[in-house]
Amino acid sequence: MLSLLKQYFGYDSFYPLQQEIITNVVAKKDTLAIMPTGGGKSLCYQLPAIRLPGLAVVISPLIALMKDQVDQLKMNGVEAELINSSLTAEEISGVQSAALTGQLKILYIAPERLGAYGFAEFLRLLPVSLIAIDEAHCISEWGHDFRPDYRQLRVLRDWFPTVPLIALTATATDRVRSDIITQLKLKEPAIFIASFDRPNLRYSVLPKKGMAASLLPLLDKYRGQSAILYCFSRKGTEELAHSLQQRGYKAAAYHGGLDSKTRTRVQDRFINDEIDIITATIAFGMGIDKSNVRLVVHCDLPKSVEGYYQETGRAGRDGLPADCVLFFSHGDRRKHAYFIDELKDEQERKQAWDKLEEVLKYGDLSTCRRAYLLGHFGEETAKENCAGCDVCLGQVTVEDATDITRIILTAVLQTGERFGMGYLASVLLGKPSDRIASSRHDRLPSFGALQGHKTAELNAVMRKLISLGLLKQSPGEYPVVLMTPKGHQFLDQKETIDLPSVLRSTGGRTKKLSAEDENFDQGLFDRLRSLRKELADRRGVPPYVIFGDRTLREMAVYYPQSEGSLLTIYGVGAQKWEQFGADFLTIIRKYAAETGVVEVKKGFIPKITRRLLGSTFGQTKELLTQGLTSAQIARKRGLAEGTILSHLEKLLEQEPKLPIDHLKPPSDNLRAIGEAFQKTGGWAMAPVKEILGEAYSYDEIRLARIFLTRE
């Protein structure tokens, strides 16, 4: 099971209860799994689907989510398709015949399909291995999200009496739980309930003090990453988005008053990392599903603690640290009062008030916020200090930052005002590299002077010092940090300075080298991210379908430079390794050559490596020597042509004499593309593609580059 996990998903271990659930399903027993958002529910049916003969049917109510899952599965080499109302009749019959001819392992369908004419007959012809019902609480009228379409799922047990059913949900009260079991007619199901704690989320409450004072420092900490800001009203979301846009943030509003086209567009741009910040109403924003949201801010009071937990749950689904911040003011009570008093039903009104009071209590807590939130779901925490909320971390609003500022300014001077923020941070953190060694900066007193802090924090403090005018940056692509007269004055006159503590860690955490830590190499991460975006755009999928943030962070921690070590990285499975490995290695090697960083061993190179290593390049080479073109090889191997070209580049590195004359593009192409490269003065493809427009594809440019660089 573990080797399937690595091969198809690139993970090394299971999340809590996954293995137990999977074992139960593979043993063909009915299952009810209750896990929080981000708990890894999908894997609980996807892995059995791969393992069992036949095809797994997955019922899911959310169209966007289905597409996402199918894209990701395909990228991991699992044959998956979906059937829902977004497909044309023709497309649907295409998927159906693929299913009938045994070409699929997983088929996602929308619940209303079950009632469609002829669909039952189709399903019953399939060799169904298991049936998974996602968001199973939707079947219960007692739940908060009842969907009449889900009632049709009652027929599944009758149609497939011997097929194991697995129902999954993130929310279910006892009543809903037993309703799910009755409605779906689960047979003596094993019930698995995971903890609802989300250890990677940090909860904090800040006084509401206006945007510039409270929101902007937070947003700067997460600059270029994804954030959701919840506001009370539609108007509030619009105004906030607008004022953020004017300040140069990539923000957009998202609420129920927008037409569905606009909503979809905003959502797509968010998912594709084209906008960083979404301002959404509390009542809305259900459709947003993005794994690398790093920050969820409630600019106004949420309606209830349950709702708050649900909304903050959108942060950090990838398991990496994320912040959930509530801007708190008792005055906000009034905003809700108006709506609550409108409620006709006395009972309802009282309930609404009670719920709001619970939220106010959360804001005023002087005990662990996580314990309070979990208490609402009937979960008791054993830990005295959760180490992940402002109360437990003993945070204060501002802190004396005189020492840290002096150390940073001194380091800028001592290194001769010749380096960027990334390099300075490495010196201050005491991270050795060849580049630092060759400049002898590891002998400076400031080397390691701020050990124990995080790169992101130091960057945030440096940015803050830049905005305060103590430092400045040179213009250009690789800005250098410089002193200002004000900075000199600060050092000379022994001034003091306070900085908001959100920018600074409370320390105390043991340092360890991992992607969960924020100690990754931001410079490399940014380059990997642009590569990811380029690959995603070319394939028309969201960036995280290529690799999640956690994968890129690990690359920026371990600097893998061989095919084998790349496979040890989180999220790198066989198929993705084959498709994207070469491209990512090129970037990492180039970065290593420029900066002098060296590879850090993560762990054992997985067993599947050797087989893959030999085979993938070997196969491409074999077909190449048989005289096939790159397009033919791609088709034959079921890989993208770009991937084959990346193999080719790699093979030529080792064997420059490989016979590739039969791949040579027509001389007209070579000339046009060659001229474009000349104009750009480098070998990067994106600027050349821009010059040439639609005339040549990326693959044509890449192939031409191979020949142009040989001459």
Instruction: Enumerate binding residues for ligand ADP (CB under 6 A).
Output: 11, 14-15, 18, 35, 37-43, 291, 317-319, 548
CB of 46 to ligand ADP, least distance (A): 8
CB of 42 to ligand ADP, least distance (A): 3
Residue pair 331/54 in contact by the 8 Å Cβ criterion: no
CB of 654 to ligand ADP, least distance (A): 33
Among 549, 529, 650, residue whose Cα is nearest residue 591 = 529
What distance in Å separates the CA atoms of residue 224 and residue 249, rounded to the nearest whole number?
A: 9
The encoded tokens of residue 63 equal: 């169209």
The encoded tokens of residue 255 equal: 């609420």
CB of 317 to Zn ion, least distance (A): 21
- Compare residues 316 and 523 and give the one whose CB is closer to ligand ADP: 316
Q: Which does 284 bind (CB under 5 to 8 A by kind): Zn ion, ligand ADP, none?
A: none
Q: Which does 122 bind (CB under 5 to 8 A by kind): ligand ADP, Zn ion, none?
A: none
- Give phi and psi for 397, each to the nearest 5: -80, -45
Q: Which does 368 bind (CB under 5 to 8 A by kind): Zn ion, ligand ADP, none?
A: Zn ion
What distance in Å separates the CA atoms of residue 654 and residue 617, rounded to the nearest whole number?
A: 11
Give the sign of the dihedral formed by CA 108, CA 112, CA 115, CA 119: negative
Residue pair 204/312 in contact by the 8 Å Cβ criterion: no
- Compare residues 299 and 374 and give the one whose CB is closer to ligand ADP: 374
- Compare residues 40 and 642 and give the one whose CB is closer to ligand ADP: 40
Using the structure block, give the residue that is written with the tokens 């539609």: 234
- Compare residues 103 and 367 and give the one whose CB is closer to Zn ion: 367
* Collapsed DSSP state (helix, strand, coil) of residue 101: coil
- Give phi and psi for 83, each to the nearest 5: -130, 115
Q: Which does 14 bind (CB under 5 to 8 A by kind): Zn ion, ligand ADP, none?
A: ligand ADP
CB of 47 to ligand ADP, least distance (A): 9
Q: Which does 18 bind (CB under 5 to 8 A by kind): Zn ion, ligand ADP, none?
A: ligand ADP
Adjacent-strand bridge partners of 58: 108, 132
The encoded tokens of residue 418 equal: 């010749």
**Alpha-helix runs per DSSP H in 398-521:** 402-414, 421-429, 434-438, 455-467, 485-492
Q: Which does 35 bind (CB under 5 to 8 A by kind): ligand ADP, Zn ion, none?
A: ligand ADP
- Compare residues 231 and 574 and give the one whose CB is closer to ligand ADP: 574
Burial 202-238 (b: 16+ CB within 10 A, else e): bbbbbebeeeeebbebbbbbbeebbbbbbbbebebbb
CB of 171 to ligand ADP, least distance (A): 11
CB of 200 to Zn ion, least distance (A): 14
- Compare residues 2 and 598 and give the one whose CB is closer to ligand ADP: 2
Interface with Zn ion (CB under 5 A): 368, 370, 386, 389, 392
- Compare residues 334 and 361 and give the one whose CB is closer to Zn ion: 361
Among 423, 524, 528, 521, residue whose Cα is nearest residue 480 = 423
* Collapsed DSSP state (helix, strand, coil) of residue 331: helix
Q: Which does 111 bind (CB under 5 to 8 A by kind): ligand ADP, Zn ion, none?
A: none
- Compare residues 132 and 389 and give the one whose CB is closer to Zn ion: 389
Using the structure block, give the residue that is written with the tokens 């609420």: 255
Letter for the amino acid at 290?
Answer: K
CB of 371 to Zn ion, least distance (A): 6
- Compare residues 18 and 501 and give the one whose CB is closer to ligand ADP: 18
Q: Which does 392 bind (CB under 5 to 8 A by kind): Zn ion, ligand ADP, none?
A: Zn ion
CB of 166 to ligand ADP, least distance (A): 13
Using the structure block, give the residue that is written with the tokens 């790159």: 630
Q: Which does 386 bind (CB under 5 to 8 A by kind): ligand ADP, Zn ion, none?
A: Zn ion
* Collapsed DSSP state (helix, strand, coil) of residue 516: coil
